[in-house]
Amino acid sequence: MRELPEELDYNMHVKPILSDKCFACHGPDMAKQKAGLRLDLSEAAYGELPENEGNYAIDPGDLEDSQVFHRILSEDPDYIMPTPESHLTLTAYEKAVLIKWIDDGAEYKPHWAFVKPEKEELPEVENEDWIKNSIDNFVLAKLENLNLQPSKQADKRTVLRRINFDLTGLPPTLKEQQDFLKDKSPDAYEKVVDRLFNSSAFGERLAADWLDVARFADSHGYTVDRLRDMSPYRDWVIKAFNENMPYDKFIHWQLAGDLMPNPTKEMLIATAFNRNHQQNMEGGIIEKEFQSEYVVDRTNILGDAFLGVSVGCAKCHDHKYDPISQKEYYQFYSFFNNVREAGQISYDNAMPAPTLLLPTAEEESLVKFINEKLTSKEQQLVKLRSDSKAEFSQWLTAGGAAKLTTQTYPSVGLQARYDFDKNELRNALNPKEVSFTTLVNRDKIKEVFTEGKTGKGILLDGDAWLDFGEVGVFRKGEPFTIGMDIFIPQDFKEGVIFHKSLAERMYNFRGFHVYGRKNGTLEIMMAHAAPANAIVKVSKEKVAKGKWTHLTLVYDGSSKAKGLYLFMDGKKLETTTEVDDLAKDILFTQHVETQPGLQIGGWYRGTGFKNGIVDNVSVYNRKITDFEVAVLAGKETWNKVKSNKKTLEDYYFSAVHQSSISLRNELKNERNALSDATEEVKELMVMKESNKPKPTFLLERGNYDSPGEQVFPNTPDRILPMPENLPKNRYGLAQWLTHPNHPLTARVAVNRLWQNIFGIGLVKTAEDFGNQGELPSHPKLLDYLAVSFTESGWDVKKIIKEMVMSAVYQQDSKTSKELLDWDKENRFLARGPARRLTAEMIRDNALAASGLLNKKVGGPSVKPYQPDGLWRINGATYVPDTTDEVYRRSLYVIVKRSVPNPTLGTFDATSRSYCVVRRQKTNTPLQALVTLNDPTFVEVSKVLGERMAKEENVEKAIMITYNKLTGKLPKAKELALLKELQQKELSKFNASISKAKGWLETGFYEINPQLNMPLVAANAVVANVILNSDAALMRR
Amino acid sequence: MGHHHNDEFKLHTPDFERINKKIDRRNFLTKTSLGLGAVALGSLFGANTLYGSEKQATTGALSDDEMQKQILAALPHIAPKAKRVVYLFMSGGPSQFETFDYKPKLVDMFGQDLPESVRGEQRLTGMSANQSNFPIAPSFTGFKQYGKNDTWVSDLLPYTAQVIDELCIIKSTFTEHINHDPAITFFQTGHQLPGRPSMGSWLSYGLGSDNENLPSFIVLVSKNAGGQPLYSRLWGNGFLPTEHQGVQFRSGKDPVLYLNNPEGYDGEDRAQMLDYLKKLNQFQNEGIADPEVDARIAQYEMAFKMQTSVPEVMSTDDEPDDIFDLYGPDSRDSGTYAANCLLARKLLEKDVKFVQLYHQGWDQHGGLPGGISHQCKNTDQATAALIIDLKQRGLLEDTLVVWGGEFGRTVYSQGRLEKENYGRDHHPRCFTMWMAGAGVKPGFTYGETDDFSYNITKNPVHVHDFHATLMHLMGIDHEQLTFKSQGRRYRLTDVHGTVVKDLLV
């Protein structure tokens, strides 16, 4: 039983009990408060009980009068607290603490982590000689208080290996070991530290940790889990750490790079942080549900990564333990809710919008070159018209206009015309071309002819669509016109009128469409991947219902909103532009068998045009003039045009003047060339605000379809009210996080860096600094570090350097059994930090020791060896790399969320499906199988074995390998043991070389055939044994 | 060092002398009219056994580790009926209309639009929500009655029909989730988003293992079943320790990842090598005395045992022909559902706690008659065989068999309805699953649905209720097996779930 402290501290001793055992029913969650009582606030706890007149939960200093006292001691199931149903019980110690606290006056204090950290005087210590820097004062003072002694300084080899892994994730090379051992100068260690800080591996080491936080992955997650490439973000993270970007800036860029003044490409890349979350490609999902899910993810990660508060708990109800109400949760949520994104990601693997194009230098110069040509052609076209007025006059004089009067509809550029009058779906221009009505996947069903606008038309049922095969296939650089007579029934509510696409949202609306919105207006869209990479315009006028009307969609090939417009009954509709951001082509290029063309009246899995009729469909491969549209709609006749010279001139230069036509053709070709040049340009998902703010509502019970009151961006007052001068957007939020008065951000950050170096945070629950989190082992040290960090300008390398230069860090990790038992986790730091290498380090250590490691920094992820068939459970195939990419560092190994990499996953690498700030640390038999049998480790053993075979002296060979893998030299008896093993294996392989097959042939690396094979294999076994030993797997 | 940490609770600190004086015990007892208060006080001031073992350094109140130990120490909460579970997960959502939920009235309603009154406010998936009508699709297949209770079973399940008297059928299971990922994740973990432990992990965590040579939670996935994708987090441990994750046993030469030694290097060689490794570890640990080294040595021994025990248990070479005949011809083809059923029996015989089979391909949005006939043909015989086989070995008494998918299917056709061809969309509001064996009523049907199998009319069983019942059968009170993560206590059933007592013997 623990002794009751003489002086109770509310935060330290009392609140952990109240929070864990009482707050679920008597805490901040207003909806769940039982009997109207809350114990998290003093005024409420001291006040008269709302449902029990004259009684008080807590009467400070008066046990008799305090209900809490009686209730916690009771054994009456109807009376006792916590109630039996809660399955929570108080231990005797906990009861004693609460009682003593009430008796002492029940003093409340604000939660420690929500109070701004202050630097306190350095604690005084007796053993001043031991102190290397301020960190040591805090740790030693506590140890001296406990009558404990710190451990002696660890030996040079141990410290070198420790610092190497902690700062670079890699082992020291033999030369680095030699150099350090030889360097007898007092600052030998500091020189090593500085060298490691300056190596590019430093950024990789910190990135490996940050990528867990940022839930970085190479696949979208959820069931379909196709791959995507977010590696430019990873490259940015590595670079940011290597360049020692101040941590406040590191936060600002990731949360709001796009909203900061003059964002650079790198700042935009950093915002991919908030697009790393999972995205769903499942066919049946409801867009809104998952749009909301993505915003939830961004909101939760704000809590987990920066605040150290599980804000996610307040999604469905007020937080049960921490002062974050549900409303405040949705205020956070609203910061991230203004992204123009799809809920369902596209079936054709288009990168979900919004994205940033990342052209290579080559691509960039090509695009620039084409754009210059384009501009010049556009200017030429204007000039050509003014230069060619005379030719127009000649044409007029020659009676060119007269010929037009015989046409019932414009003929120049006409590609297809369907009037359905012979109960046929034939293209009048090309009778071989037959369209058909279809339902799903090209299953033809019989079309229904009915009375049309003129002659026959086609009746539509809302599910089937009239499909015109390849008619209507245009690229974004190609002008076109599509017109038709449409009868829209009176009861039409919403649905597609006509389109060129594959389905409704499944393919993110790639192509173009005319859609009748719920409010009666018409939407026209042209998209690569809606809702961001697109043009969207909406008519101001409503569509005519219950009568025939003529719709014409006209497009000039410019990829701009102003070049796409709609006519109703020959009249150009006024529109509002919602999106004008079409950056890539509108045709399908991947995962689609047949390029779809024009379809009318319905689309796959979408709402169509029930009981509508369509007639007289015309498709042109040019932008026809406004007057021609009116003719097509039957609202004008050619006769009129003769009296209007301006209209006639427009027509002439659009349809007759050969030089103009061929120049426009050239322009089209350039535009297509531009599309081609952009097609392969890499895209990265980034954050981008929609120009039209999206209202945010509190979602009742967290349900996307139960909006409650409207909320606006804001931050919780109990943490830090949002300063007035900050913008109420993500940039303001980012600045709020790093505001000098913010109580959490710096503490959370230094704690995680501490965790990185010492294996366990000063606050063990690095993800939770709230009421339910564990208390800091050294609160004053934490605050000292947090304040130093901000004072230094959030200098990451500087604060880490202070940690690793401390005497605490450099202690020997060996200790007495007593101390080990008493302080298993080394919370009091009376010894140096020891821990198993991380998944990445275990693999990288082996690769580095064998010399196979490919140290290339950055770039897309790699695919090392992996057993066949693992990806098959979701229909994918893993094709391992065939070059030395298989030897790249582990942070580059591809992360497919649904199927973890078997090597790394077995050693507790996270799935990256959500933010993780503290990995599990487990010890399982499956881990043994990996380091014994995984081809990566067998190959490493083989390579080491080969190297050993070149050494004449067996002992020396073993010592070198031991040294490479463990950073140490074997003790004499270890050496003898390994030598004995080598001899046994050697005689075994000499007797039967077939036993050595696996040891000699695993992996790409080919050993020198001149060598003695049994010897190589025997050495490989020895190397593998060392690799599997404690000295290799642990960093002590 | 901290000598006081081993001290007993200080009863006579000045503080408590003062408190003791202040409390007029009699008055206290009267006021609270408890009578038991004295006992409580006794345990407060006197007892040290409750917490006597507390010796570890800690910076706060009771450490989470200690709390978890207390939770595990309380197990089992109830006398367990089942010692092990085999869960036949039919991924994709099998149609209840063509399997167990016989709806003869639908025949006359062929092609009629499903009344809005039936549909109510049920949300539909993005796949059929926009259809302009919802034509009723009766089952293409016939039904017959079997067993002592004349239970209706579809003609597609002739073998299952033969064991109908062993089954406890629930026609009224329901969920909230209408798409595969959320629905399967919900079924396996009690939550629709990734990150929570799967039910097998919870059982492994709570109950440990009865077999030292095999993992307590093993997963088998039918090869080449096609259909909706699976993902290994469905058998993931979430925030529970990694050792409780499901271990997938795969057909082929490497049934567990990296189980095989380098080619040519046999078990004896490996044993010798590990012997040296053990010694090396011990030498290295001299002067360090880290218990983790001993733990790791033990894990290497366990790994070595698995290298022998797993191939042994995976091999069905010794099974007699009549067993293969019982499970059907596919059972000779390793990796098929039938072979996995046979393998499951072997694992259960070895007291593996939780064996989960995944069989994909039940997602018939279109072409349902052909699709579901194929699915039934591939699974029916082996499923029934597993029950028969377990029974004849006396294992069915304490083994729970579960069959079912993540949701049901709609009465209306998704896409075009034809006499011989139609599809059905996802339907969360009612679907059929069954259990058999340990502790559940055999030859029993529970729950009813309306004529359209659209809504439940009697005895709904939510997924949380199913979880609660399953845990109850294993001896666990689902409300008491909790794990604290990120400041909050989690359990498989979240804050819901009721044991469905009516299903229990």
Q: Per residue in B90-102, pLDDT tens?
A: 999 999 999 999 9
Question: Per mean pLDDT, which range of A130-134, A326-330, B32-36 is the poorest?
Answer: B32-36
pLDDT higher than 90, residue A434: no
Distance of CA B51 to the CA centre of its chain: 34
Q: Using an 8 Å CB-CB cutoff, list chain A residues near B254.
A: 867
Which pLDDT value is given to residue A88?
Answer: 87
Out of A97, A834, A924, name the one closest to residue B299 (CB): A924
To test the contact with chain A by mutation, choose from B6, B24, B296, B494 the residue with the greatest count of A C-beta atoms within 10 A, namely B296
Q: How confident is the model at residue A2 (pLDDT cuts 50, 70, 90)?
A: low
To test the contact with chain A by mutation, choose from B134, B242, B476, B489 the residue with the greatest count of A C-beta atoms within 10 A, namely B242
B244, closest residue in chain A (CA to CA)? A924
Contact assignment for A874 to B256 by CB distance below 8 Å: no
Q: How confident is the model at residue A5 (pLDDT cuts 50, 70, 90)?
A: confident
Contact assignment for A977 to B280 by CB distance below 8 Å: yes
- Using DSSP, state whether A548 is helix, strand or coil: strand
Contact assignment for B488 to A772 by CB distance below 8 Å: yes
Out of B179, B295, B307, name the one closest to residue A285 (CB): B179
Nearest Cα neighbor of A525 from A540, A541, A539, A509 is A509
- Rounded distance, CA A760 to CA A741, Å? 26
Instruction: Give Cβ neighbours of residue B49 (< 8 Å, ≥ 6 apart).
Output: none
pLDDT higher than 60, residue A709: yes
- Rounded distance, CA A834 to CA A814, Å? 9
Nearest Cα neighbor of B341 from B320, B361, B327, B353 is B327
Q: Using an 8 Å CB-CB cutoff, list chain B residues near A818.
A: 1
Nearest Cα neighbor of A679 from A379, A264, A348, A236 is A348
Torsion sign (Cα): A75, A79, A80, A83: positive
- Rounded distance, CA B240 to CA A190, Å? 40
- Rounded distance, CA A965 to CA A178, Å? 15
Question: How confident is the prediction for chain A on average, in pLDDT?
Answer: 93
Distance of CA A542 to the CA centre of its chain: 40
State the angle between helix axes of A730-737 and A247-256 in degrees (0 to 180), rounded to the nearest 10.
Answer: 160
Q: Using an 8 Å CB-CB cutoff, list chain B residues near A900.
A: 232
Q: Using an 8 Å CB-CB cutoff, list chain A residues near B425.
A: 284
Cβ proximity of B240 and B201 under 8 Å: yes
Joined tokens for residue A888: 């790249």
Phi first, then psi: give them for residue A197, nearest 5 degrees: -60, -30
What residue type is assigned to position A752 of the chain?
A: R
What residue type is assigned to position B276 of the chain?
A: Y
Contact assignment for A1026 to B13 by CB distance below 8 Å: no
- Rounded distance, CA A307 to CA A325, Å? 15
- Rounded distance, CA B191 to CA B186, Å? 4
pLDDT higher than 60, residue A1006: yes
Report long-range pairs for B275-280 (Cβ below 8 Å, ≥24 apart): B276/A977, B276/A978, B276/A980, B276/A981, B276/A1025, B277/A1025, B277/A1028, B277/A1029, B279/A977, B280/A974, B280/A977, B280/A978, B280/A1025, B280/A1026, B280/A1029
Give chain B's length: 505
A139-163, pLDDT tens digit by residue?
999 999 999 999 999 999 999 999 9
Is any Cβ of chain A less than 8 angstroms from the Cβ of B314? no
Distance from CA of A900 to the nearest CA of B (A): 8
Q: Using an 8 Å CB-CB cutoff, list chain A residues near B281.
A: 1029-1030
Nearest Cα neighbor of A350 from A128, A34, A589 is A589
Tell me which DSSP letter residue A585 carries: -
Joined tokens for residue B100: 């167990």
Q: How confident is the model at residue A958 (pLDDT cuts 50, 70, 90)?
A: very high
Is any Cβ of chain A less than 8 angstroms from the Cβ of B38? no
Which pLDDT value is given to residue B330?
Answer: 96
Is any Cβ of chain A less than 8 angstroms from the Cβ of B34? yes
Is any Cβ of chain A less than 8 angstroms from the Cβ of B59? yes
Q: Using an 8 Å CB-CB cutoff, list chain B residues near A308.
A: none
Q: Using an 8 Å CB-CB cutoff, list chain B residues near A20.
A: 61
To test the contact with chain B by mutation, choose from A445, A873, A994 the residue with the greatest count of B C-beta atoms within 10 A, namely A873
Q: Using an 8 Å CB-CB cutoff, list chain B residues near A1035.
A: none
Element (H, E) at A766: none
A824-852, pLDDT tens digit by residue?
889 999 999 999 999 999 999 999 999 99
Nearest Cα neighbor of B486 from A301, A656, A568 is A301
Is any Cβ of chain A less than 8 angstroms from the Cβ of B242? yes
pLDDT higher than 90, residue B74: no
The CA distances from residue B140 to A24, A175, B103, B412, in Å, are 52, 76, 11, 13
Out of A911, A984, A996, name the one closest to residue B233 (CB): A911
Contact assignment for B488 to A321 by CB distance below 8 Å: yes
A896, closest residue in chain B (CA to CA)? B231
To test the contact with chain A by mutation, choose from B22, B58, B277 the residue with the greatest count of A C-beta atoms within 10 A, namely B277
Q: How confident is the model at residue A441 (pLDDT cuts 50, 70, 90)?
A: low
Listed ranges A421-435, A631-645, A931-945, B243-257; the one with the highest mean pLDDT: A931-945
Q: Using an 8 Å CB-CB cutoff, list chain B residues near A313.
A: 487-488
Q: Cis link prior to A82 (omega < 30° from 0)?
A: yes
Chain pair A-B, CB pairs under 8 angstroms: 368
Q: Using an 8 Å CB-CB cutoff, list chain A residues near B34.
A: 70, 74-76, 79
Q: How confident is the model at residue B333 (pLDDT cuts 50, 70, 90)?
A: very high
Beta bridge partners of A618: A417, A483
Give chain A's length: 1036
A47-98, pLDDT tens digit by residue?
888 888 888 999 999 888 998 988 998 888 888 999 988 888 888 888 888 9
Q: Using an 8 Å CB-CB cutoff, list chain B residues near A516.
A: none
pLDDT higher than 70, residue B51: no
Cβ proximity of B396 and B438 under 8 Å: yes
pLDDT higher than 90, residue A330: yes
- Rounded distance, CA A729 to CA A339, Å? 12
Contact assignment for B59 to A819 by CB distance below 8 Å: no
Which pLDDT value is given to residue A440?
Answer: 57
Burial B177-203 (b: 16+ CB within 10 A, else e): bbbbbbbbbbbbbbbbbbbbbbbbbbb
Listed ranges A279-283, A406-410, B459-463; the one with the highest mean pLDDT: B459-463
Distance from CA of A927 to the nearest CA of B (A): 8
Torsion sign (Cα): B151, B157, B162, B167: negative
Q: Report the relative pairing of strands B456-458 and B461-462 from DSSP bridges.
A: unpaired
Question: Per mean pLDDT, which range of A435-449, A482-496, A751-765 is the poorest?
Answer: A435-449
Q: Using an 8 Å CB-CB cutoff, list chain B residues near A607.
A: 130, 132
pLDDT higher than 90, residue A35: no
Q: Using an 8 Å CB-CB cutoff, list chain A residues near B278.
A: none
B52, closest residue in chain A (CA to CA)? A1
Question: How confident is the prediction for chain B on average, in pLDDT?
Answer: 87
Q: How confident is the model at residue A442 (pLDDT cuts 50, 70, 90)?
A: low
Which pLDDT value is given to residue A820?
Answer: 86
Is any Cβ of chain A less than 8 angstroms from the Cβ of B132? yes
Cα-only R_g, chain B: 27
Look-up of token digits 């839930």: A215
Which pLDDT value is given to residue A472?
Answer: 95
Q: How confident is the model at residue B402 (pLDDT cuts 50, 70, 90)?
A: very high
pLDDT higher than 60, residue B8: no
Contact assignment for B233 to A4 by CB distance below 8 Å: no
Contact assignment for B180 to A938 by CB distance below 8 Å: no
A974-987, pLDDT tens digit by residue?
999 999 999 999 99
Contact assignment for A439 to B277 by CB distance below 8 Å: no
Distance from CA of A529 to the nearest CA of B (A): 18
A484-524, pLDDT tens digit by residue?
999 999 999 999 999 999 988 888 899 999 999 999 999 99
- Rounded distance, CA A656 to CA A411, Å? 11
Which pLDDT value is given to residue B44?
Answer: 38
